[in-house]
């Protein structure tokens, strides 16, 4: 069962991310609601939290006619059914077909799906294909075979859909960065030595106390070039963003992950400087409140420290938590962002 203080805070915010995790029972009215219900908030002393509608009904309460809390289960079932259809389909599935499968109108299902996942059905399908393509390209000797295996109807469709998003070309993903130039430098900062590396698209690695050998492991066949005039301006902007964290939102990135990981990274970048979030809040913002551990894993797989500010995530209760480059750097970054 969810912590009662966390539940009450979610009710006060009318936080949709908690819909489906519990229901709010109001003992004086005999009604139970979603956490996001728009009705006037009851007094805290009149509220009891239940795991689901069945538990609330067993206690003698009835569902709210305004927020329809029992429909949350139907929404979740609809989203899961659509995801199963998208993942198992050989081709693409239209919004109309998915809506028909779930019994919703296309417009309503689009809202339900995006609220639950953080992406539209079409965007989720594209992200799934791109993730499968990256995985297949990493293991396959045939670029064309990997493209078809990932679910693209043609090689041209793959290149059209992923242009500007994969960063490296398809063959480069299959061959450890072959044919890709990555410029890099190790510079001194007030936080220690910092490695910065970038493709032509954007920064692909920012870390502390690492050197070229780390890039060799990640991109064994890439052409690694130290420094360079074209890299100098970008490097200066990255250093400035580290010395004054929160000032680098404009810096282009070349990072890749699963659809959920990328949603978590977007949620991290949305945290205002000077504020923190818990792993549970990041999972909720990424569209899956129950995936707290996966959110922690996404945090750990962040390849561009500071630019994607994973230092702004703390444990429940405010404990600083871990950080890949040590708590001292994490604490200092947070201190610099204080207003």
Active-site amino acid positions: 33, 310
Structure tokens at 30: 């005999």
Three-state secondary-structure class, residue 244: coil
C-alpha to C-alpha distance for 242 and 158, rounded to whole angstroms:
36
Exposure string of 294-319, with b = 16+ CB inside 10 Å and e = fewer, is bbbbbbeebbbbbbbbbbbbbeeeee
Structure tokens at 76: 């979740």
Residues 6+ apart with CB under 8 A from 73: 20, 52, 53
Structure tokens at 97: 């077909």
C-alpha to C-alpha distance for 102 and 43, rounded to whole angstroms:
37
CA distances from 228 to 81, 92, 224 (A): 51, 44, 11
* Contact predicate 143/189, CB 8 Å: no
CA distances from 50 to 4, 6, 31, 60, 281 (A): 10, 13, 12, 12, 21
* Contact predicate 131/89, CB 8 Å: no
Count other C-beta atoms under 10 Å from residue 234's C-beta.
Answer: 17
Structure tokens at 238: 């990255």
Structure tokens at 41: 């908030």
273 Rama sector, left if φ>0, alpha if ψ -120 to 50, beta otherwise: beta
Residue with tokens 């502390």: 208
C-alpha to C-alpha distance for 244 and 32, rounded to whole angstroms:
47
């Amino acid at each position: 069962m969810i912590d009662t203080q966390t539940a009450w805070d979610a009710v006060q915010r009318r936080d949709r991310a908690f819909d489906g995790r519990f229901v709010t029972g109001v003992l004086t009215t005999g009604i139970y609601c979603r956490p996001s219900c728009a009705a006037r908030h009851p007094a805290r002393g009149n509220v009891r939290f239940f795991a689901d509608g069945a538990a609330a009904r067993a206690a003698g309460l009835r569902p709210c006619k305004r927020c329809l809390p029992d429909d949350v289960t139907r929404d979740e079932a609809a989203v899961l059914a659509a995801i199963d259809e998208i993942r198992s389909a050989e081709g693409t599935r239209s919004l109309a077909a998915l809506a028909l499968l779930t019994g919703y109108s296309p417009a309503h299902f689009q809202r339900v799906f995006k609220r639950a996942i953080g992406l539209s059905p079409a965007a989720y399908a594209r992200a799934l294909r791109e993730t499968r393509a990256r995985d297949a390209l990493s293991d396959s000797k045939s670029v064309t075979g990997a493209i078809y295996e990932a679910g693209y109807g043609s090689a041209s469709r793959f290149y059209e859909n992923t242009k500007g998003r994969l960063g490296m070309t398809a063959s480069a993903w299959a061959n450890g960065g072959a044919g890709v130039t990555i410029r890099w430098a190790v510079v001194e900062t007030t936080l220690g030595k910092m490695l910065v590396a970038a493709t032509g698209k954007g920064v692909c690695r920012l870390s502390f106390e690492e050197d070229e050998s780390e890039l060799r492991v990640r991109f064994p066949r890439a052409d690694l070039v130290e420094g360079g005039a074209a890299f100098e301006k970008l490097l200066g902007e990255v250093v400035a963003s580290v010395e004054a964290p929160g000032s680098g939102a404009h810096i282009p990135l070349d990072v890749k992950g699963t659809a959920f990981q990328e949603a978590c990274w977007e949620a991290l970048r949305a945290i205002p400087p000077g504020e923190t979030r818990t792993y549970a809040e990041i999972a909720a913002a990424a569209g899956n409140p129950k995936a707290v551990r996966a959110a922690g894993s996404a945090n750990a797989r962040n390849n561009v420290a500071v630019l994607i500010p994973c230092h702004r995530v703390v444990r429940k209760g405010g404990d600083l938590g871990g950080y890949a480059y040590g708590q001292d750097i994490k604490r200092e970054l947070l201190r610099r962002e204080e207003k």
